[in-house]
Amino acid sequence: MSSNYTRRDFLKVTSCSTAIAGISCMTGTLGSLGAQTISGSTKFVKSYCEMCTSRCQIEGKVVDGKSVFIQGNQYSKGMGTSVCARGAAGHSQLYDPQRLVKPLIRVGKRGEGKWKEATYEEALNLIAKKMMNIKEEYGPQAVLFSAKTGEHFSHLSTFSKAFESPNLFSHHSHCPIAYKVAFKHTYGTGLKRDFSKSKYILNFGHNLFEGINVSSTKKLAKAAASEKTKLVVLEPRFSIVAAKADEWHSVKPGTDLAFVLSLMHVWLRDGKYDKEFVQRYTVGIEHLIESTKTTTPQWQEKITGIKADVAERVANELYKAAPNCIIDWGHKTTTGQSEYQRTRAILIANALMGNIEKEGGLFFKKKAKTCNKLAGIDIAPTITNPDKHFQTPKTLRVDRASQKGSDNAFIARNQGVLMDIPKAILNKDPYEVKGWFMIRTNPLITVADPKTMKEAMNKLDFIVVTDIYMSETALMADVVLPEATYLERDEGIMDKSSSKPTYMIRNKIVDPINNTLAGHEIFRTLAKKMGIDKDYKWDNILQYRVQQAKGNDKLLKELMSKGYVSYSIPTLYYREEKYIKDFVNKYPNAKKYLDEDGLMGSMLDNLKTPSGKIEIFSQQVEEEFKGYGVPRDDNNMDVTRGYPYILTSGKSAIHTNGHTHNVPYLHMLMSDNPVWINPQTAKKENLKNGDKIYLENDIGKEKGTVFITEGIRPDTFFVYMGFGRESSDLKRANGVGTNQSKLLPLIKGPVCSTMVTNVGVKITKA
Amino acid sequence: MNNMWGSTAQYEVISWPWPIAVYLFLAGLSAGSIIIALLVKWNRHEKDSSSIWDAMVKAGAIISPLTICVGLLLLIVDLGKPLSFYWLLISYNFTSVMTLGVIALFIYTPLAFVFMGLIFEDTIKENKLLSIFSPIISYIKSFEVYAKRIEYVLFGLALIVGAYTGFLLSANMTYPLWNSPVLPILFLASGISAGIAGNILVGMLFFKSSINKESIKYLLILDLRVILLEIPLLIILFVGMLYAGGNAEVAAIQALTVGKWASIFWFGVIGFGLISPLLIAFTALRNHAYKIGFILINSMIVLAGVILLRFYVVYAGQLFTGA
Amino acid sequence: MSKKYRMIHDENLCIGCQACSVACRSENDVPDDIFRLQVRVETKGTFPNLKMDMRRQSCVMCEDAPCVEVCPTKASFQTNDGVVHIDESTCVSCKYCIVACPYNARFMNPVTKAVDKCTFCYSNRVKKGLDPACVTVCPTDALVFGDISDTSSEVYKKANENNLLYPKAHLGTKPKVAFVPNKRGVSYE
């Protein structure tokens, strides 16, 4: 046992471990439940949402054991009482009669949808048996494990390591992998954005007004509405963030890289960049000067369609506003082959403006460890990972992630590349795969080319899907396990540090309907049944929480009652004199981290990059992928693949990816995703509003409905994602709308292995 | 932006559908028929029960109470909460045209029945079933001295009932086609023309009487006068809307040109309901051909035109808001 | 001393996300596919000169309310603070108020069969010192609610700092819901 808590804490905790999973029973100091009882039958419970992965902090009002109203958790200053439509609709999902609440075992053909109901005991026993059989006959690597990142992913990760399979997949490859990898290569870690104080924000499709993260959305909305901030948005369609911008430029899909390169060309040409910053904190500027020699504003105009003088002017305006400016990389934008270069270019552009650790710019997370070190005292408790001793199997993965020489060389072992799964299964390359265990994921909607994915799934012996609805992927399973929704489960502590050390926790708001289990309960039970749980140091979530908190019951108690705990420190930017003064005043110990100039620049001298500096040029990348070491035109900005129109997709404020389309409240608001078509294009193709059409390319053919709008480029189409469902148990969403994944090829963007979501199509009338 | 705010069906619903249109027609017909009946009674008191005038008084006396009853029943059934209708009689809001209408009808309806009772006094006394009401009739007859005054009150109330249907609609600022002071006058005029036509039709069909050329000529001219009044009213209504600009102008143009309601207006209301009776009347008058058939057909056409006018105003008003 | 309630919808902060609509539904048990509140997102102009207006579609609590004026049974009535209520028991559902409302704010509730509309969450929230549900959850704080006669209130400050427009002000209904019009975007319609 290698944890820091005392034997007394351990006894306190084990006395509770006999409690039934899902019910919080605490003795002594952990006695107060997370619920704050107001009257006999009304209580307010603090937790965090899971309707999307922003995971905003919420407060649920529970009346007579029923969740009736959800709003933001006021303890989180960034939230206040705000919550978005999906968060507010949490109980609509919770009480949806179409939700899965009983384990199902397949009786017909795979995908037929014939099931027999079973108990968790039966289902889990069957899973344990089948999985161990596969492990015996083919080895543990024959089972894939995948989930969207989040707490359940951590638990799945532990489970997969206990099973000894190296094939763990997160959703990164079809989502944020580009900026995750780009950040790692450039800054070593991720950076946060200070929208509130920024004077100029150049936004590359970062649609915070539809892909909502309440805290960030609120800040950006106020900045955009303020006269003090200029917001410039580059986006092919007139989205809501584009509508709030001071300037919107309709960039041709896939070509954002050209615009960024032209900005850098202007800056480097005119010497308009933070030379001191670049000198001290970066390596490789010479390479960038070389690669942007010819990427003039005129050059980019031919590629993006944005006028040369706009690029020239924006470059100058950014420089003028620097360092209180942000060039916002967004989430995933072009997701074409040039996504890595685009994101790297943007990250470096920020460095050129010298906005790192400046007010209104970018900053590193100020986690507890860093703050405690600087202050010399323990301002905030730290938490730990009770499962960190579980070893990642270093055996060969089916996607060869982290393998030198493979195209997934820079993909972490615990992220993987989902798009490589079908061919690995179909070609039995590098070895046979027989099983797939999934939770909180629906690849048949969210990953490219579902037809090929289905084909691959049909070759498997055993598929387990854990979900709350009978999704398209669940239909393909051998065993479907219902999971308790986020409102029905206790989970662990999450580090939410931003400008201050912060933690949040998920507290159960209502008891699970029909005793459905949480993901962590499922994995823990399975591990026990399979006899692979020797390394688990906890039996239930309560113990897990206690271990995370390192026995700190003050922290736990606060989290259980408030859901969100933030440790107030003076805001600190390492390169802002005013802020440093305030910090040092409060924590004189921090003086020893000051440079001669009175700033804390030394905090940026040893980053987690190979050179320790901000890498404008990355040697390691250049070695694996020639020509990708520094941002340059990679000749990959054409996403059309020979077709006349480009199909793009994006987030809506009403739905989340493939998740919420059957939720009653949300389905009521938006039940279809008609295809956005420009009037000129409609005229050319002889289309009227409401016409039925097909979008087609070499990957597939998908139905759609015409929506004529001026808000999209003539050469582009747009659909909100997550529609076009094909599961008859999703009674509301089934059969309606367009599933754009059917038109996406299973290709990857180089270096970061991102899924490609902008693709060429042709259109025909139905 | 494609719809992400949900169904807009509730905003497109026709809140006052056909039952209201039919009620407006019936109320107008009821008021109009009693007005004509009373006018005829006051101006042409011939005791000869087989003359057309007496038949018209009888027709009015029976049409008026029956149509208003059917109309009110239709209204109650059309209510979203029909079983709560009694609240309309208990709780009043004097700023509401509807309350004023309820009060007016509260007095008008029984009075119309009283009038019917008095006009058909003999028939009631002779009929086995209806003779139950004889005592009531006799009781009412004892107030004979007030008869004239009661008739004047009934006449006034009928004018109110005929006009209030227009005020009901015109008191709304939402629908440009309704929001015009012309509407009450138009509806009253239309109601009176329906009264004339209805009384003639029922009088000639059920209260068999002989009719001479003089009477027919007089009736045709009477009808002509009312129709000729309706046409300028309609013109003023639409011209007013066009000059008002904004929503009203757009609504007027839409109502006159878009879809089936525009057709109903031009072919039904104008062509059928106003122009054809005019043509029939002019032709008959010019050629001095006073056939009974003309009168009957004319009356039916006029009544159809009045119904179509109500339907048109009610539906087109709600559909074409000019928004 | 009666309160002068005002609600301000800042169309610049509003992102049309419908959180308000969902919160309203939750708080007031609004029947399926019926809405007390919608935010209409209207794209105007010609590519690429576009603007997007966010328009709140809901009861504006008129001071001189046509719905109160026309209700035959006084089921639609106003309290001293100017809030317009509906007494379900005396409502006969004649729909005169639905027809009379220039803001299309009222509808027939298919469950109670009476007429229904936004109530500013008066009895369930405002009376308890809370903001209406829509105001509470708005992710960008685009909605502000309170007593405008209280100079320390957010509503007073917002009214002071911005040019407020009242919907269909020319009708003379004196609505209590105002909006700060959208400043962004280009449209030459």
Question: Which residue, among C54, C95, C103, C174, would best test binding to B if mutated, counting the most B CBs under 10 Å from its CB?
Answer: C95
- The verdict on residue A52 lying in a domain is no
pLDDT for res B283: 82
- Pairwise CB contact (< 8 Å): C136 & A81: yes
What gap in Å lies between CA C74 and CA C71, rounded to an integer? 5
Q: Tell me what pLDDT residue A507 has.
A: 97
Handedness of CA B64, B67, B70, B74 (dihedral sign): negative
* Average pLDDT value for chain B: 88
Cβ within 8 Å, pair B172-C42: no
CB within 8 Å: A82 and C19? yes
Identify whether the C-beta of residue A21 lies closer than 8 Å to the C-beta of residue A57. no
Reported as a pLDDT band with limits 50, 70 and 90, residue A60 is very high
pLDDT given at position A39: 53
pLDDT(A24) > 50: no
Does C95 map to a domain? yes
Calpha distance A295→A290 (Å, rounded): 10
The tokens of A87 are what? Answer: 């968060």
Contact by Cβ (8 Å): A350, A314: no
Label residue A25 by pLDDT band (50, 70, 90). Answer: very low
Report if residue C188 sits inside a domain. no
Query: A717 at the B interface (CB within 8 A)?
Result: no
- Subunit contact A88:C137, Cβ cutoff 8 A: yes
With CB atoms and an 8 Å threshold, state whether C50 touches A665.
no
Among the three residues A483, A512, A537, which one is the final residue of a domain in this structure?
Answer: A483
Q: Could you tell me which chain C residue has the CA closest to the CA of B95?
A: C69
Q: Given this model, what pLDDT does residue A440 score?
A: 96
- Which of A:653-672 have CB within 8 Å of B? 653-654, 668-670, 672
Helix (H) or strand (E) segment spanning residue A375: helix A368-375
Rounded Cα distance, B104 and B165, in Å: 12
Run of H or E residues at B297 = helix B292-319
A753 neighbors A407 (Cβ within 8 angstroms)? yes
Position A397 in a domain: yes
A654, B7: Cβ pair inside 8 Å? no
ipTM for the complex shown:
0.97
Same-domain status, A269 and A127:
no
Say if B10 is an interface residue toward chain A (CB within 8 Å).
no
pLDDT digits (tens, 9 = 90+) for C38-81: 999 999 999 999 999 999 999 999 999 999 999 999 999 999 98
CATH number at residue A444: 3.40.50.740
Q: From the CA of C131, how many Å to the nearest CA of chain B?
A: 22
Question: With helix as H, strand as E and coil as C, how does A578-627 read?
Answer: HHHHHHHHHCHHHHHHCCCCCCCHHHHCCCCCCCCCEECCCHHHHHHCCC
Query: Mean of the per-residue pLDDT values for chain C?
Result: 95
Q: How far apart are CA B287 and CA B295, in angstroms?
A: 14
Q: Count Cα atoms within 13 angstroms, Cβ side, for C117.
A: 29
- Which tokens belong to A508? 């159960």
* CB-count exposure of residue B296 (10 Å: 0-12, 13-18, 19+): middle
Residue of A nearest to B3 (CA): A670
Give the B:C interface size as CB pairs under 8 Å. 124
Lowest mean pLDDT among A198-202, A247-251, A333-337, B90-94: A333-337
Domain boundary assignment for chain B = 14-319
pLDDT-wise least confident of A410-419, A586-595, B279-288: B279-288
The pLDDT score that the predictor gives to residue C186 is: 79
Residue found under tokens 């802020």: A579
Closest residue to C95, CB basis, from B9, B11, B80 = B80
For A205-225, letters b (16+ CB in 10 Å) and e give: bbbbbbbbbbbbbbbbbbbbb
Amino acid identity, position A596: E
Residue A37 pLDDT > 50: no
Judgement on whether residues A209 and A347 belong to the same structural domain of the protein? yes
Q: What is the 3-state secondary structure (H, E, C) of A527-585?
A: HHHCCCCCCCCCCCHHHHHHHHCCCCHHHHHHHHHHCEEECCCCCCCCCCHHHHHHHHH
Q: Give CA C17 to chain center in angstroms.
A: 16
Interface check B2 vs A, CB under 8 A:
yes
The dihedral region occupied by A598, where left means phi > 0, alpha psi between -120 and 50, and beta the remainder, is left
Rounded to whole angstroms, the Cα distance separating A293 from A282 reads 19
Binary contact (C50, A711; C-beta < 8 A): yes
- Cα separation, A221 vs C17, whole angstroms: 12
In a domain, A423, yes or no: yes
- Contact by Cβ (8 Å): A58, A71: yes
Whether B6 sits inside 8 A of A711 (CB atoms) is no
The dihedral through the CA atoms of A271, A274, A276, A277 has a sign that is negative
Q: Which of B2, B3, B4 is the best substitution to test chain C (most C C-beta atoms within 10 A)?
A: B4
Say if residue A232 is in the same domain as residue A353: yes
Q: Inspect the interface and report whether the beta carbons of B3 and A673 lie closer than 8 Å.
A: no
Tell me what pLDDT residue C188 has. 64
Contact C17 A85 (CB under 8 A): yes
By the CB < 8 Å criterion, does C164 face chain A? no
**Phi/psi of residue A140, nearest 5 degrees:** -65, -25
Determine if the peptide bond prior to B277 is cis (ω within 30°): no
Q: Are residues A468 and A335 in the same domain?
A: no
Cα–Cα dist A391/A325, whole Å: 42
Distance CA B27, CA A761 (A): 62
Residue in C21, C72, C114 nearest the CB of B5: C21
* CA-angle at B246, arms to B241 and B248, nearest 5°: 30
Are residues B216 and B56 in contact, defined by beta-carbon separation less than 8 angstroms?
A: no
Helices (H) and strands (E) in chain C, counts: 5, 9
| One-letter amino acid for residue B212 of the chain | N
- Could B1 and A709 be called an inter-chain contact, meaning their C-beta atoms sit closer than 8 Å? yes
Residues A316 and A418 in one domain: no
CB–CB contact C17 A221 (8 Å): no
Provide the 8-state DSSP code for B272: I
DSSP C13: T
Q: How many folded domains does chain A comprise?
A: 3
Neighbouring residues of B296: CB distance < 8 A, sequence distance ≥ 6: B200, B201, B204, B205
Which pLDDT band, with edges at 50, 70 and 90, does B128 fall under? Answer: confident
In a domain, A675, yes or no: yes
DSSP string, A286-350: HHHHHHTSS--HHHHHHHH---HHHHHHHHHHHHHHTTSEEEE--SS-S-STTHHHHHHHHHHHH
The subunits that touch chain A, with at least 3 C-beta pairs less than 8 Å apart, are: B, C
Q: How many residues does chain A have?
A: 766
Sign of CA dihedral A390, A394, A395, A397: positive
Three-state DSSP state, A711: coil
Please tell me the total count of domains within chain C.
1
With CB atoms and an 8 Å threshold, state whether B2 touches A676.
yes
Chain A touched by B95 (CB under 8 Å): no
B93 and C CB contact within 8 Å: yes
Q: Could you give the CA distance from residue B38 to residue B57 in angstroms, rounded to a whole number?
A: 7
What's the average model confidence in pLDDT over C123-128? Answer: 94
Closest CA to A574 of A228, A280, A216: A280
pLDDT band at C27 (very low <50, low <70, confident <90, very high): very high
Please state the three-class secondary structure of B123-169 as a single string: HHHHCCCHHHHHHHHHHHHCCHHHHHHHHHHHHHHHHHHHHHHHHHH
| Helical pair A256-270 and A308-321, crossing angle rounded to 10 deg | 60
Which residues are within 8 A (CB) of A741 and not within 5 positions of it... i.e. 6 or more apart?
A444, A445, A446, A447, A448, A449, A450
Query: Which among A296, A315, A297 has a CA at the least distance from the CA of A307?
Result: A297
Shared domain check, A272 and A155:
no
Residue C103 lies in a domain: yes
Q: Which two tokens stand for residue A752?
A: 């970061």
Q: How far is CA A613 from the centre of its chain?
A: 26
CA dist A708 and C71 (Å) reads: 42
C-beta atoms of C93 and B174 within 8 A: no
Averaged pLDDT for residues A515-530: 96
Q: Does a structural domain hold residue C187?
A: no
- Report the range of poorest mean pLDDT among A208-222, A239-253, A326-340, B200-214: B200-214
Question: Which residue segment(s) compose the domain that A675 sits in?
Answer: 645-765
- The tokens describing A542, both together, are 């309560």
Q: What is the pLDDT, as a whole number, of residue A308? A: 97
Would you state the pLDDT for residue B206?
83
Q: Is residue C189 part of a domain?
A: no
Tell me, what CATH number does A688's domain have?
2.40.40.20
Closest approach of chain A CAs to the CA of B1, in angstroms? 7
Q: Are residues A167 and A205 in the same domain?
A: no
String of b and e for A534-548 (b: at least 16 CB within 10 Å)? eebebbbbbbbbbbb
Query: How would DSSP label each residue in A304-317?
Result: H---HHHHHHHHHH
Structure tokens at A52: 């999307």
Q: What is the pLDDT of residues B137-194, one digit of tens each?
A: 778 777 777 888 889 999 999 999 999 999 999 999 999 999 999 999 999 999 999 9
Residue A403 sits in the same domain as residue A446: yes
Q: What is the mean pLDDT of residues A96-120?
A: 94
Instruction: Show the tokens assigned to A663.
Output: 């939720």
Interface touch B2/A709, C-beta < 8 Å: yes
| Secondary structure of residue B178 in the 3-state scheme | coil
Q: Place domain B14-319 in its CATH homologous superfamily.
A: Formate dehydrogenase/DMSO reductase domain (1.20.1630.10)
Which residues of A are less than 8 Å from B9 in CB distance?
A: none
Range of the domain at C37: 5-180
For residues B80 and C92, the answer to whether their CB atoms sit within 8 Å is yes
CA A629 from centroid of its chain's CA atoms:
25
Q: Is the per-residue pLDDT at A11 higher than 60?
A: no
Q: How far is C64 from chain A (nearest CA, A)?
A: 32
What pLDDT digit, counting tens, does each position of C152-183 carry?
A: 999 999 999 999 999 999 999 999 999 999 99
Q: Are residues A231 and A353 in the same domain?
A: yes
Helices (H) and strands (E) in chain A, counts: 26, 28
Are residues A357 and A305 both part of a single domain? Answer: yes
Contacts with B6 from chain C: Cβ below 8 Å: 18, 21, 33, 35, 38
Residue A9 pLDDT more than 50? Answer: no
Alpha-carbon distance C167 to A434, whole Å? 63
Residue A15, pLDDT score: 40
The CATH number covering residue C65 comes to: 3.30.70.20
Nearest to B68 by CA among B40, B104, B37: B104
Q: How many residues does chain C have?
A: 189
Task: Name every chain C residue with its beta carbon within 8 A of the beta carbon of B5.
Answer: 16, 18, 21, 35, 38-41, 57
DSSP state of C165: B
Token pair, residue A371, equals 């703050």
